[in-house]
Structure formats: C-alpha cells, structure tokens
Chain A
Amino acid sequence: QVQLVESGGGLVKPGGSLRLSCAASGFTFSDYYMSWIRQAPGKGLEWVSYISSSGSTIYYADSVKGRFTISRDNAKNSLYLQMNSLRAEDTAVYYCARDRGSSGWGACGYWGQGTLVTVSS
C-alpha cells in the first residue's frame, strides 16, 4: 500500500534552515508528481511546492519562492524540501502528498502524516 513518511521537522530559529524528507513506498515513486503542502496551527491548507516525476518541472508558492527548494531522488524513493531563511510564519505541519494519477496536475491522492516545523527564537 502507498506510504509516505515525513521527517526532519523540529524547532529552528528565525533565519535558520531545515531539510524535510519524505520516504515513499508501495508504488513506483519515479512515475508520480509530488507536492509539499503545509498547514499553520489552526489554519487551512496551503500549497508549498510541486515537482514532476523526473524532477525537471518545479513550481513554488510565492510565499516560499527563493527560500525553499524542492527536490527528489528517484533512486532512493525520496522527496525533499530544503527550507532556508525561515520565518515565524513558516511554522506549520508540512505534508508530502502524491498525485492520484501519473499524468500530473491532478488531485493529491495520498498524504503523509506530516512533520511539524516550528520557527521561534
């Protein structure tokens, strides 16, 4: 069965960096587009970034562009989010999600359980 497990969250000071990982299993990782989506405490869902199956096409939300970098290692079945210049407003649970289908730009059919990032001094 499809499984997505995020790791790497924690407490970091403003201006600091953190790298999130998402370990995928139960499907052919290299066939699917992947997303990072976050949710601030008590708030709604916010899309962060999207990467194509090969990693050649990448999109970012305006709120993170220039600070965050999404990447993937298809050989390791892993998705990453490098977060630099972190701000208090980046505090959130970060979810990785897999497209439902393999053609891209579709619904997020599978989600991990999330990892909490707290940016505070």
Chain B
Amino acid sequence: SYVLTQPPSVSVAPGQTARITCGGNNIGSKSVHWYQQKPGQAPVLVVYDDSDRPSGIPERFSGSNSGNTATLTISRVEAGDEADYYCQVWDSSSDHYVFGTGTKVTVL
C-alpha cells in the first residue's frame, strides 16, 4: 500500500518560514492536498492539487510537489499557525485515499 511519510514535528520562530515535507514514491505524479488541524477541531483544507489555495486561506500558505517529495510552506509564521498538518493523496493503484503521518508545527 502507498505510504506518505512526514516529519513528526517542526519548530519555527514567529515571522520565519516553516517547511513541512511529505514523502512518497513518485508523489510528484499525484495531486497532493494539505490539511491543518487545531486541537479539538475538524481539519481544514489549506492547499489542494499541490499548490492551489481555497478561498479564505492566506497567501502565506503555499505548496509544491516534485519527484518523491511534496512540501507545504508557511511563510511569515504566526502563533495561530500552530497545529497539526496532514498531506493526502488519492492512490489510484489501490483506489484508496492515503493520509500522511502528520506533522506538529510548534511556534516558538
């Protein structure tokens, strides 16, 4: 089955840039979606189809995808960005959605 691997945690100072990676075999051939989840809340879509943002999501959130790694970049990090982040793809070989292992972003 297809596996998506994320770093368990990323720490970043306010105003700096956080980069969260999502590794998968030839993930560059798939569309990657990213979700933000704050404690006790449902996930929120922040990037879809590798690099598009839903309406209402700040431009500070951006995505890229190539080769075996997709990346969510959060620029000018704010305290309110502290959350868990998950990547997701549709694996057509198994007809399954797959979520990444999740990354906890801590704002120092």
Contacts and interface: CB of A to CB of B under 8 A. Distances in A.
A29 interface: no
Interface residues of A, number: 21
B101 interface: yes
Interface stretch (B18-26, B44-52, B66-74): B44-52
A100 B96 contact: no
Interface string B45-88: 10011000010000000000000000000000000000010101
A106 interface: yes
Interface residues of B, number: 25
A111 to B, nearest CB: 4
Q: Is the interface of B mostly helix, strand, loop or mixed?
A: strand
Interface in A85-121: 95, 100, 105-109, 111-114
A62 B98 CA distance: 12
Contacts of B45: 100, 107-109
B35 A45 contact: yes
B108 interface: no
Given A62-B1, A105-B90, A109-B54, A47 B42 contact: no
B67 to A, nearest CB: 21
A107 B49 contact: yes
A11 interface: no
A114 B42 contact: yes
7 closest A-B pairs by CB:
A107-B48, A107-B33, A47-B97, A111-B42, A44-B102, A45-B99, A105-B90
